[in-house]
Amino acid sequence: MTIAPQEDRLHAQIEFALEIDKLKRVIRRNTLMDGSRRENDAEHSWYIGMLAMVMGEYAPPGTDLDRVTAMLLVHDIVEIDAGDTFIYDSAAVAAQPELERKAAERIFGLLPADQAGRLRELWEEFEERRTPEARFAKALDRLAPILANHRTEGGTWSLYKVTAEQVRKNVKIIEDGSPALGRYAAELIELSVSRGHLAVS
C-alpha cells in the first residue's frame, strides 16, 4: 500500500511537532521574574513573543510585527541540539554557530521542504540581524533577561559575575532594534549599578 502524499506530509509535520517539544527541556541561565527557578527555552520564546505583541510600537515604523513574532517563536529551536549559550561565555559563543547550523539542518529538515526552508529562513534572518524585524526581535530577546535581572536584584549578573560594561554592550543591540527600548534598558542598568546589584568591573 502506498501512502498518499498528503498523509506523508502530515506525518512529517507531526514528527517535527513531537521533536520540538524538547525545547521545554532546554534550560537557560536566566530565572523567572520571581527568581524561583531557571527558565526554559520554550517558555522564554512565548514570553518574548508576547513582548513583541505589547512593545510593537517601539519598533521602527513599517516593521512587520507578525514576522517578528514568528521569528521569536522559532529562534531557539536549534538549541534542542546545540544547547543554550550564556551570552557572556565567549568560548561557548564562538563554537555555537557551527553547532546551530547542523541543528537547523536536522530539526527543520524533519518538515516538508517548503516549510523547512521557511523556518530556516526565519532563524537565519534572526541570527543575521540585518532586517528591522530581526533587529527588533533580537532587541526583545536581550531585553527580557535585563528585566529579570533587574527584578531579581542582580540575578544571573551577580551569580556569574557579569559586569556593567558587558551588559552595556548588550544595550547597543537593543538600541539597534529599538532606540526607545534601548534607552529604557540603559536606565535599568544604571539603576542596578547604583543599587549595587550590578558590579561596575
Please report, as residue ranges, which positions from 94 to 133 form the binding site for its own copies (by CB under 8 A): 111, 115, 119
- Judged by DSSP in three states, 62 sits in coil
Q: Which helix (H) or strand (E) holds 28?
A: strand 27-31
- By CB under 8 A, is residue 163 in contact with its own copies? no
By C-beta, is 13 or 158 nearer to its own copies? Answer: 13
Out of 23, 87, 137, 173, point to the residue binding its own copies (CB under 8 A): 23
Out of 1, 3, 4, 54, point to the residue binding its own copies (CB under 8 A): 54
- By CB under 8 A, is residue 15 in contact with its own copies? no
By C-beta, is 74 or 104 nearer to its own copies? Answer: 74
| Site residue total, its own copies (CB under 8 A) | 43
- By CB under 8 A, is residue 162 in contact with its own copies? no
**57-70: burial string, b at 16+ Cβ within 10 Å, e else:** ebbeeebebebbbb
Out of 2, 3, 5, 34, point to the residue binding its own copies (CB under 8 A): 34
- By CB under 8 A, is residue 49 in contact with its own copies? yes
By C-beta, is 33 or 99 nearer to its own copies? Answer: 33
Contacts made by residues 152-156, CB under 8 angstroms, sequence distance 24+: 152/31, 152/33, 152/34, 152/35, 153/192, 153/195, 153/197, 154/192, 154/197, 154/198, 155/30, 155/31, 155/35, 156/29, 156/30, 156/31
Report how many helices (DSSP H) and strands (DSSP E) the chain contains, helices first: 10, 2
- By CB under 8 A, is residue 78 in contact with its own copies? no
Closest CA to 126 of 135, 118, 139: 135
Which residues form the interface with its own copies (CB under 8 A)? 10, 13-14, 16-18, 20-25, 32-34, 36, 39-40, 42-43, 45-47, 49-51, 53-55, 58, 66, 69-70, 73-74, 111, 115, 119, 147-148, 151, 180, 184
